[in-house]
């Protein structure tokens, strides 16, 4: 050690020593001794006083505990009959000659997505559209080039349409202050909100939330099936999902349910929750299932509601479960109706598509939970689907023993051989490829499953 460093270390040591002896002297000083004695006396007095009020204290604590238990209880009554059922288990004879629904497949893509788009359409054709021949509409915010149109025309068995989105549907709302929005996007980028710094991504989320169903090319259709580049369907689809949805009175269908990163939409739930109260929409089972109830007692919950913008007015949060909208089959008449339009325009006026990074997935989910009946929502639990990094496999449970699942963690779950052998897959000719993507954790699927089926989707307690 250099001489200077040794001297500095010695100085530090002696400074420490002198601070310690000052502290020891202070603690032992008559003033401190009397302060400690006073505090002890005060505590004893307080305890004695409290003892006199013990019965009241017990009553207050009991009421608080009961109130908390009442607040966090599951408000969902058991279902005599599931509100939703798979349209099929196993394979059916595809209704090749049956009439088709008023429906289209729909893909939003960039020219640069051409390879992923071809792969996704090949998969849909291979598993479904080679016998159904539904039309496919491709949308882009700029004109598609000939590489894209040629490649996609050659893999689609239905009529294809390539459309360019009008500027007004792919831009910021006029009332939003551009400078404020730009600052907000920089903030999101700095705070690592996924895609938060990409203006085009915000346009895409706004478009998918509020405008796609108003595109001229979609006007003649009622139903759509959303497909994204690079997705894969991993089971044969041997029935017409549009016809089945229509027959069963369904309006919105999903495959994967998962958690949202709350940083993308910190105020969305509060705003929608207040909107629901203002318009007196009834509380559906799904809406209830999406609430993460606070375990704080009532007055504290109320305080939290006042001070934290991600809580509803009761002080509770959204558990962030939502339908992953990169796949959806839905009835556009629902979006085109006044209730959804009013809701979208309320959100658009707020500016949260840019000031935060609201995705169309939570918007569609919370809107469905608010505006649709529980029985109008369908889970395609008999379909296999991959959108990297996650896939859903339509296996009946028993995948893993309890404890192997960790919330939010990517899993590479293997379906045990005996499950495969017992043919416990719900779908038809499913392939389970673990190279494709990780199997999604069933936390949100179970939350929604309990609301709509009355049981979990995947029983994680079962032994593998
Ligand atoms: N035309 C066009 N399409 C876009 C643009 N940004 C995203 N999309 C499409 O919008 C959909 C969602 O975009 P993705 O980039 O897949 O976003 P994501 O699914 O949230 O995120 P990933 O995990 O990256 O797939 C896809 O169909 C994209 O092709 C864009 O700037 N222009
Ligand atoms: Mg995607």
The DSSP secondary-structure symbol of 107 reads: E
CB atoms within 10 A of CB 462: 14
Whether ligand 1 lies within 6 angstroms of the CB of 326 is answered as yes
The yes-or-no verdict on residue 29 having pLDDT over 60 is: yes
pLDDT at 394: 78
Give 197 Cα–ligand 2 centroid separation in angstroms.
17
Of the pLDDT bands very low, low, confident and very high (cuts 50, 70, 90), residue 402 is: very low
Structural domains in the chain (count) = 1
Beta strands 136-140 and 103-108 are parallel
Q: What's the whole-model pTM score? A: 0.85
Can you tell me the distance from the alpha carbon of 152 to that of 145, in angstroms, rounded to the nearest whole number? 11
Q: Indicate the SS3 state at residue 297.
A: coil
Of all ligands present, the nearest one to the C-alpha of 144 is 1
Nearest to 370 by CA among 274, 237, 226: 274
In this structure, the residue with its CA closest to atom 32 of ligand 1 is 110
109 lines ligand 1 (CB under 6 A): yes
Position 418 in a domain: no
Domain of 159, CATH number, reads 3.90.550.10
* d(CA 108, ligand 2 centre) in Å: 10
Single out the catalytic residue among 260, 328, 356, 376. 328
What are phi and psi for residue 137, nearest 5 degrees?
Answer: -110, 130
Instruction: Say if ligand 1 is within 6 A of residue 320 CB.
Output: no
CA separation for the pair 197, 187 (Å, rounded): 8
Per the structure, the complete domain to which residue 175 belongs is given by 103-379
Nearest ligand 1 atom to the CA of 326 is 19
**Closest residue by CA, ligand 1 atom 31:** 200
Residue 229, pLDDT score: 98
Cα R_g (the chain), whole angstroms: 29
d(CA 183, CA 204): 19
**Ligand 1 near 108 CB (within 6 A):** yes
* pLDDT given at position 412: 44
Q: What is the pLDDT of residues 198-247, one digit of tens each?
A: 999 999 999 999 999 999 999 999 999 999 999 999 999 999 999 999 99
Q: Quickly list H helices, 220-330.
A: 241-247, 268-278, 285-289, 298-307
200 lines ligand 1 (CB under 6 A): yes
Nearest-atom number in ligand 1 for the CA of 388 is 23
User: Is there a domain that residue 239 lies in?
Assistant: yes
Asked if residue 283 is part of any domain, the answer here is yes
Tally helices (H) and strands (E) across the chain: 18, 15
For ligand 1, whether the C-beta of 325 sits within 6 Å is no
Is 409 annotated in the active site?
Answer: no
* Confidence band of 395 (pLDDT split at 50, 70, 90): low
Closest ligand to 208 CA? 1
Query: What is the distance between the alpha carbons of residues 170 and 208, in angstroms, rounded to a whole number?
Result: 10
**Using one digit for the tens of pLDDT, what is the confidence trace for 34-65?**
788 888 888 988 888 888 888 888 999 999 99
Residue 110 beta carbon below 6 angstroms from any ligand 1 atom: yes
Measured in angstroms, how far is the CA atom of residue 82 from the centroid of ligand 2?
A: 31
In angstroms, what is the span from residue 289 Cα to ligand 2's centroid?
A: 26
The reply to whether ligand 1 has any atom less than 6 angstroms from the CB of 229 is yes
Q: Summarize the confidence of residues 145-163 as an average pLDDT.
A: 98
Closest residue by CA, ligand 1 atom 29: 109
Residue 75 domain-assigned (yes or no): no
């Amino acid at each position: 050690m250099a001489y200077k460093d040794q001297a500095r270390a010695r100085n530090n040591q002696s400074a420490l020593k002198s601070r310690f002896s000052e502290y020891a002297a202070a603690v032992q000083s008559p003033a401190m001794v009397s302060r400690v004695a006073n505090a002890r006396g005060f505590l004893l007095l307080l305890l004695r006083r409290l003892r006199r009020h013990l019965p009241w204290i017990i009553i207050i604590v009991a009421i608080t505990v009961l109130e908390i238990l009442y607040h966090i209880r599951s408000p969902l009554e058991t279902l005599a009959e599931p509100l939703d059922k798979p349209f099929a288990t196993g394979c059916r004879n595809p209704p090749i000659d049956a009439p088709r629904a008023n429906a289209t497949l729909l893909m939003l893509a960039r020219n640069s997505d051409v390879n992923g788009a071809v792969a996704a359409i090949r998969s849909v054709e291979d598993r479904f559209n080679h016998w159904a021949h539904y039309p496919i509409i491709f949308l882009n915010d700029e004109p598609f080039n000939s590489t894209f149109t040629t490649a996609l025309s050659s893999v689609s068995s239905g009529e294809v349409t390539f459309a360019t989105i009008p500027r007004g549907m792919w831009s910021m709302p006029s009332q939003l202050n551009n400078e404020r929005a730009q600052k907000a996007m920089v903030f999101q980028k700095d705070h690592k909100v996924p895609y938060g710094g990409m203006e085009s991504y915000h346009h895409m989320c706004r478009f998918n939330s509020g405008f796609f169903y108003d595109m001229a090319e979609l006007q003649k259709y009622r139903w759509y099936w959303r497909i994204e580049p690079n997705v894969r369907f991993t089971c044969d689809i041997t029935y017409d999902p549009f016809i089945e949805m229509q027959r069963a009175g369904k309006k919105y269908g999903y495959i994967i349910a998962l958690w949202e990163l709350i940083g993308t939409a910190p105020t969305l739930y509060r705003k929608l929750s207040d909107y629901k109260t203002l318009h007196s929409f009834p509380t559906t089972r799904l809406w209830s299932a999406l609430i993460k109830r606070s375990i704080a007692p009532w007055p504290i919950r109320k305080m939290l509601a006042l001070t934290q913008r991600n809580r509803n007015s009761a002080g509770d949060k959204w558990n962030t479960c939502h339908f992953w909208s990169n796949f959806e089959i839905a009835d556009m008449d629902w979006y085109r109706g006044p209730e959804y339009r009013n809701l979208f325009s309320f959100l658009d006026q707020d500016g949260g598509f840019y000031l935060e990074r609201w995705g169309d997935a939570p918007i569609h989910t919370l809107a469905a939970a608010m505006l649709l009946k529980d029985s109008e929502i369908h889970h395609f639990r008999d379909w296999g689907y991959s959108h990297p990094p996650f896939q859903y496999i339509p296996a009946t449970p028993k995948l893993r023993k309890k404890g192997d699942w960790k919330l939010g963690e990517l899993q590479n779950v293997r379906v045990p051989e005996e499950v495969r052998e017992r043919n416990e897959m719900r779908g038809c000719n499913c392939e389970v490829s673990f190279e494709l993507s990780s199997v999604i954790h069933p936390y949100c699927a179970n939350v929604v499953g309990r609301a709509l089926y009355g049981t979990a989707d995947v029983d994680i307690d079962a032994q593998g």
